[in-house]
Amino acid sequence: MPKGDDSLDVRRYITLALTALQHRGQESAGMAVYDDHGQVAHRVGMGKVREVFQDSGTSLPETYCGIGHVRYSTTGSSCVENAGPFVVGERSGQYDTIALAHNGNIVNGNTLRDLFPKETLRSTTESEILALMLLYAQGKTLRERMIETFPALRGSYSLVILAEGKLYAMRDPWGMRPLCIGRIGNSWIATSESCALDRMGATYIREVEPGEFITFDEDGMHSELLVKAQKTSLCVFEHIYFSDATSRLNDAYIYNVREALGRELAREHPVDADLVVPVPDSSIPAALGYANASGIAYSQAIIKNRYSDRTFIKPDQRLRQLEVDLKFNFVQPKVEGKRLVIVDDSIVRGNTMKRLVSALRNRGVKEIHLRSSAPPLRHPCYFGIDIPQEEELIAAGRTVQEVADYIGVDSLGYVSLSGLGRAIQTAETPNLHPDDKEALAFLNKEFCYGCMEKQGWPFDPIAAANHGAQPATFFPRDTAIKGQ
């Protein structure tokens, strides 16, 4: 989302950035830009960035500033009406148009939905509700409207917004979803992950702080800390699985964290075996870490079909299972008669493991020792990752041995919570040697890990779901509805 440099074709840069972020959402892609007159033009479509923006966005007007979004649905179904960015207020006249791209999940979205008459809503996402709240809040500037809006919000939101001819970025008070800033020439960029900056040839500057509100205009970047929660709660699953291995979060590179997780796993759950094998893609650095620490040879005995998608972020169970079936192939001599340590970053519904274990058994594997670089996932996520209700979670209500028996492996080991904390802490500061207590305290101070242990949530999401807002704060209802 560059701004301020005429030599850049912003539309092409946004397309590049969205391609780099494709692993965060595969369902739809969209872009919104200012045209010559300061009006917002936008286009969204179902599918991958390559499919939606075959023309690199050049059917949209040339522009100095724009935003883009790839969607992984966590609220509302996977359909074009729910594709971001959301543009609201185009027809209002008395309100500025707002275009908003949202990563996260507003826990009380359904309660806030009641602020708006059904017929005024075009989608079933809370991202649209958020855009409408900003549109109708009473303040004159977007900054004032944000100050009125955010106290009503419970949940995760990393936002980029077009309004008043400017670009804005904001991160929720807990910093649950990532958002960082970069520069290219005289232009500024705010993006979910630094891998998008790399793809654009931009320089990483820093993270947007939790609760920070940033304005980018012709005078540059202006930052303001609007709010700060008692503690930070960055989603630890970003480190484990969600983010790209080349990205950095604060001072830690994701790749290094995953490698350190593999070393922790080797220390906590050693085993005699012939080969260490990753479940591609996301667990590759962890498997390398395990192999290096254990001295067992590393092998890519399981090969991912290069055209297959991420399976976990597919919107329904049938699609997830179909994709797993298409995803893997095997190098027979590396499997047959071998004792394998299979490393995956996480075991959620068990779709991947159930299919993989039976495929490996069919190919004559001797022993399967499964190692997970996430601790057992026993609770749902309400904050933007589709970790479902407990009934669907393979580790919920089962002991580790019961999970091992259920999946059909010879042994199973999960990294501990303290091992997880230590892996991140030592990737950030390599000369630290935190003990278990210090590593747990670090995890608890900096991260959300609520899907692993309920006390890891920043607040109780079930209670927060009912948190409401004063309708009067957001709009004089009659005017707003007429306007829209």
Ligand X SMILES: O=P(O)(O)OC[C@H]1O[C@H](OP(=O)(O)OP(=O)(O)O)[C@H](O)[C@@H]1O
Ligand Y SMILES: NC(=O)CC[C@H](N)C(=O)O
Residue 281, Cα to own-chain centre: how many angstroms? Answer: 16
Per the annotation, does 316 bind a ligand? Answer: no
The stretch near ligand Y (CB under 6 A) out of 42-50, 122-130, 146-154, 469-477 is 122-130
- Per partner kind, with CB cut-offs from 5 to 8 A, the member of ligand SF4, ligand Y, ligand X, none near residue 235 is ligand SF4
Q: How far is the CB of 284 from ligand X (least distance, A)?
A: 9
What does the alpha-carbon distance between residue 341 and residue 275 come to, in Å, rounded to a whole number? 6
- Per partner kind, with CB cut-offs from 5 to 8 A, the member of Mg ion, ligand SF4, ligand Y, none near residue 288 is none
Edge-first strand order for the sheet with 28-34 is 40-46, 28-34, 66-71
Per the annotation, does 79 bind a ligand? Answer: no
Q: Name the phi and psi angles at 54, rounded to 5.
A: -55, -30
Residue 380 near ligand Y by CB under 6 A: no
Per the annotation, does 345 bind a ligand? Answer: yes
Residues that bind ligand X (CB under 6 A): 241, 279-282, 310-313, 344-353
What does the alpha-carbon distance between residue 104 and residue 83 come to, in Å, rounded to a whole number? 14
DSSP string, 40-82: EEEEEEES-HHHHTTTTTTTSPP-SBEEEEEE--SSS-SSGGG
Per the annotation, does 283 bind a ligand? Answer: no
Cis amide prior to 435 (ω within 30 degrees): no
Choice from 15, 26, 105, 426 touching ligand Y (CB under 6 A): 105
Q: Which of 475, 435, 420 is nearest to 137 (CA)?
A: 475
- Per partner kind, with CB cut-offs from 5 to 8 A, the member of ligand X, ligand SF4, Mg ion, none near residue 351 is ligand X
Q: How far is the CB of 440 from ligand X (least distance, A)?
A: 24
- Per partner kind, with CB cut-offs from 5 to 8 A, the member of ligand SF4, ligand Y, ligand X, none near residue 282 is ligand X
Residue 105 near Mg ion by CB under 5 A: no
Taking the least distance from each CB to ligand X, the nearer of 42 and 369 is: 369
- Per partner kind, with CB cut-offs from 5 to 8 A, the member of Mg ion, ligand Y, ligand SF4, none near residue 394 is none
Task: Extract the tokens encoding 299.
Answer: 């092998």
The residues that bridge with 40 in the sheet, in sequence order, are 34
Residues that bind ligand SF4 (CB under 6 A): 176, 235-237, 381, 383, 385, 387, 448-451
Residue 242, Cα to own-chain centre: how many angstroms? Answer: 6
Helix residue ranges, H only, 137-252: 142-149, 194-200, 236-237
Choice from 123, 191, 282, 484 touching Mg ion (CB under 5 A): 282
What does the alpha-carbon distance between residue 420 and residue 248 come to, in Å, rounded to a whole number? 17
Q: How far is the CB of 335 from ligand X (least distance, A)?
A: 18
Tell me which DSSP letter residue 177 carries.
S
Binding-site residues for [4Fe-4S] cluster, please? 235, 381, 448, 451
Q: By the criterion CB under 6 A, which residues form the site for ligand Y?
A: 25, 71-76, 82, 102-105, 125-127, 384
